[in-house]
Amino acid sequence: MKYIFQRDDNGELYYSDDFDLAMAGAFVTLPDGTKAKRRVDLEVQQKPKEGHASTVDRPILSDNLGCTAKQVDEFRFRAKEGGFTDVEFVPDKNFKDNYFYQAKFTCRKQWEAYKGFRGKVDKNGRLGSGATLSEGALETAKEMVEGVYGPAKVLT
């Protein structure tokens, strides 16, 4: 796949096959040292092949649709009352003493339906959910922002 970047210095488009460069973020430094912005809107998006990981339903754990231990019985009752018999509330392993319960869904369709039932909206687009940035990616982002806006200022 060809990744497209627009150079900051002259606006020309730069094409690259370098996956690592494309995954570095929206703003990158090209091999010649020029700053550029990735133009995903100009790239030809390929549909995933049948059986590809992005087309296979897999369990989804949601903190947003979860609850505390004190609420879990009520949430289970409300889910069943709404016709969601397959929604599970499982203890979050990041909390001691089963303090928080995550909602567990068997597939994306089930997650979408329950999310609507609860009146929730996924503003970060699920594809980004659960994603974390590496220290290197954070440092690159910091450098790019400081290159445009200058060093960060602490407000007091």
pLDDT higher for 121 or 90?
A: 90
Stretch 107-118: mean pLDDT, rounded? 88
Domain assignment present for residue 69? The answer is yes
Q: Give me the percent of the chain exceeding a pLDDT of 90.
A: 21
Domain assignment present for residue 122? The answer is no
Domain assignment present for residue 90? The answer is yes
- The answer to whether residues 65 and 25 belong to one domain is no
What is the C-alpha to C-alpha distance for residues 56 and 128, in angstroms, rounded to an integer?
17
Domain assignment present for residue 147? The answer is no
Where among 28, 46, 64 does a domain terminate? 46
pLDDT higher for 60 or 45?
A: 60
- The answer to whether residues 64 and 104 belong to one domain is yes
- The answer to whether residues 107 and 80 belong to one domain is yes
Domain assignment present for residue 27? The answer is yes
Domain assignment present for residue 100? The answer is yes
pLDDT band at 133 (very low <50, low <70, confident <90, very high): low
- The answer to whether residues 60 and 103 belong to one domain is yes
Q: Which two tokens stand for residue 81?
A: 């009352």
- The answer to whether residues 58 and 113 belong to one domain is yes
What is the C-alpha to C-alpha distance for residues 92 and 99, in angstroms, rounded to an integer?
8
pLDDT band at 112 (very low <50, low <70, confident <90, very high): confident
Q: Which of 28-32, 85-89, 141-145, 149-153 has the lowest mean pLDDT?
A: 149-153
Give the sheet arrangement for strand 88-91, strand by strand. 60-68, 100-105, 88-91
What is the C-alpha to C-alpha distance for residues 19 and 93, in angstroms, rounded to an integer?
33
The predicted structure's pLDDT at residue 71: 94
- The answer to whether residues 17 and 59 belong to one domain is no
Give CA angle at 140 (136, 141), nearest 5°: 120
CA dihedral 130, 52, 115, 78 (to 10 degrees): -100
Strands (E), 31-140: 35-38, 60-68, 88-91, 100-105
- The answer to whether residues 27 and 73 belong to one domain is no
Domain assignment present for residue 132? The answer is no
Structural domain that includes position 94? 54-117
Number of structural domains the chain divides into = 2
Domain assignment present for residue 155? The answer is no
Task: Using the predicted structure, report yes or no on whether residue 7 has a pLDDT greater than 90.
Answer: no
- The answer to whether residues 75 and 106 belong to one domain is yes
- The answer to whether residues 92 and 73 belong to one domain is yes
Whole-number average pLDDT of the chain: 79
Stretch 50-66: mean pLDDT, rounded? 72
What is the C-alpha to C-alpha distance for residues 24 and 141, in angstroms, rounded to an integer?
9
The predicted structure's pLDDT at residue 114: 93
Q: Are 103 and 87 in contact (CB under 8 A)?
A: yes
- pTM for the full model? 0.47
pLDDT band at 136 (very low <50, low <70, confident <90, very high): confident
